[in-house]
Structure 1
Amino acid sequence: MNVWLLGAVVVCGAAVLAGGLALVQQRFSPPQTREPYNEVAGSVFEIVSVLYAIVLAFVLIAVWEQMTEAQRTSYAESAAVVEVYWDAQNLPDAQRVAVQDLCVQYADQVINVEWEQMRAQSPVSQDGWAIADSIRAHWSSWDAQGDVANAVKDDGRDQIRVLYDARAERLGTAEDGLSGVMWLVLIAGAVLVMGVLFLFGIPGRAAHLAIVTAAASMIALLLFSVYELEYPYSRAMAIGPEAMRLALERFTHIG
């Protein structure tokens, strides 16, 4: 389902549920019976809502930063494999062909196999690591002669190290969602905030409905955002393999 449509369904569903509970409450517990407790309820609501807002804002910022970092990592990995492919131009013919073919295999593996596994939140196969290990083995076996060749070899080693680091970070991030305890805090906090809000004796059915539906909609929207951003490589707002596709395009230009 489209993320915008799914978000609208979640927010509207929360608003309808909160509005329905408000109507039921008005029927069986008129606001006049709760008005004497408004001052106490207001003090409790202020404490609970502020604490919950801080926690929710912290989590939302954290998952957003993780999404941004995951995007940067994907391009760092892509740039590293392109640099290795480029530096391989200086290798002897047999090693050059082997390393460049392995770079292409690596990009294909990431795009066509690993990205689908990450999108499904399945364990990622070890084939990508095997290809990366083969690239490193071929590079290390090069007997570079002269200052220029040694500089190229050192640069290639650095780029392979960047490739390994970016790959490890990508795979770690793909499995690094919020803990069950954190989701319990977020959901229980939302229920607690709404529960305290229902303690208020608000005169007028329309005003009561407006307040509870607005609060429920906002909380649902923020929780939905956290859910969609939790895993950067899956769900509706997932990062795609565009960076590695760009690497494949660069290979064709390098030759």
Structure 2
Amino acid sequence: MVASFLSLSFILFISIALAILGLLLVRHYVDHQTLNSHHDVAGYLLSIVGTLYAVVLGLIVVGSLNTFDKARITVASEANALHNIFHLAQGLPSPTGEQLRSDCVIYAKTMIDDEWKSMEYGKSSQQAHAIIAAIWKMVIHFQPHNQDETDLHSSILAELNVLANNRHLRLTAAEPAYDWIIWSILIFGGVVLVVFTYFFGVEKLAVQILMTVLVTIALALNLFIVALFGYPYSGDVKVAPTPFEEDLYRFHQELKESNSENPAAKSPEVVKP
């Protein structure tokens, strides 16, 4: 959060400084009477341009916030599916059940230690690809021997499908949502709005500076929100792998309880792919 605060402070400082500098240059080279004569026209144009820009910026801000919320829900759904697979695997015969539970532990650990770091750069983890492929292969090739195993197999396949779909959505959301063209349009539109405030014949310069600064701050804050929440897996404000951390903790606790109830049983060996 400290880095975000410093970034915001720097952006506001630069934006305000440039806005004031531009206003002072206009007031220096254009007299008050000339500005006052264009007051009405500038007002109409500003209302049109401002409305169009407000609609576009508003949609993008709302879209960024929705993207962040959906990313949190996606991670929670993926982790919940993993937890369900871990539980369902208890009913499978040995060694398939133990290996599947072991792979669930590896998957959760890989999310926390590897893939979350990769997603900060819009990439995925090769280790995660390997473990999810191993899980799919194991489940698909499992041959049920009775009705109970058939029901368990169907349930595990359904949960695995949920996990894979949410993982795909998560990796898609980790990719850059707005390219340089979108950012160029947003920044250019903000500059145009600030420049329009220069062409009003306000008698007191201090009052016009204050109005220009307030407009600049409002625009900069909205753009900062887009940058902050439009990339849900990078930056200071990002979706954390908390659901997978909770999964991993529960997995270890349940394995300990299982071993204490059945001392002869061994906890599934965690084998890295």
TM-score, normalisation: structure 2: 0.88
Counterpart residue identity of residue 134, structure 1: A
TM-score, normalisation: structure 1: 0.94
Query: Is the 1:91–1:142 Cα contact (8 Å) retained in structure 2?
Result: no
Q: Shift of residue 98 of structure 1? A: 0.9
What residue number does 1:84 align with?
A: 85
Sequence identity percentage: 26
In structure 1, distance between residues paired with 2:6 and 2:62: 23
In structure 2, distance between residues paired with 1:237 and 1:32: 48
In structure 2, distance between residues paired with 1:143 and 1:254: 26
In structure 1, distance between residues paired with 2:100 and 2:174: 27
In structure 1, distance between residues paired with 2:64 and 2:56: 12
Counterpart residue identity of residue 195, structure 2: G
| Structure of greater relative contact order (alpha carbons < 8 Å, 6+ residues apart) | 1
Q: Shift of residue 101 of structure 1? A: 1.1
Q: Shift of residue 9 of structure 1? A: 2.9
In structure 2, distance between residues paired with 1:222 and 1:46: 18
What residue number does 1:70 align with?
A: 71
Q: Shift of residue 148 of structure 1? A: 2.5
What residue number does 2:265 align with?
A: none
In structure 1, distance between residues paired with 2:162 and 2:176: 21
Q: Residue deviations 1:142-192, cap 9 Å, x none?
A: 322333222111110001001110111111110141133221221111111
Q: Residue deviations 1:177-213, cap 9 Å, x none?
A: 1133221221111111112221111110111111100
In structure 1, distance between residues paired with 2:250 and 2:30: 68
Query: Is the 1:75–1:243 Cα contact (8 Å) retained in structure 2?
Result: yes
Larger mean Cα displacement after TM superposition, 220-229 or 15-24: 15-24
Q: Give the secondary structure class of the aligned counterpart of 1:93.
A: coil
Q: Give the secondary structure class of the aligned counterpart of 1:65.
A: helix
Query: Is the 1:10–1:221 Cα contact (8 Å) retained in structure 2?
Result: no
Query: Is the 1:86–1:254 Cα contact (8 Å) retained in structure 2?
Result: no
Task: Structure 1: give runs of 5+ residues left out of the alignment.
Answer: none
Query: Is the 1:139–1:157 Cα contact (8 Å) retained in structure 2?
Result: yes
Query: Is the 2:122–2:174 Cα contact (8 Å) retained in structure 1?
Result: no
What residue number does 2:246 align with?
A: 246
In structure 1, distance between residues paired with 2:122 and 2:47: 42
Counterpart residue identity of residue 21, structure 2: G
Q: Shift of residue 103 of structure 1? A: 0.9
Q: Shift of residue 122 of structure 1? A: 4.8
In structure 1, distance between residues paired with 2:241 and 2:234: 12
| 2:141 aligned with 1:141 | yes
Equivalent runs, 1:4-153 vs 2, <5 Å: 4-119=5-120, 121-153=121-153
Q: Shift of residue 133 of structure 1? A: 1.5
Larger mean Cα displacement after TM superposition, 21-30 or 202-211: 21-30
Task: Structure 2: give runs of 5+ residues left out of the alignment.
Answer: 256-273
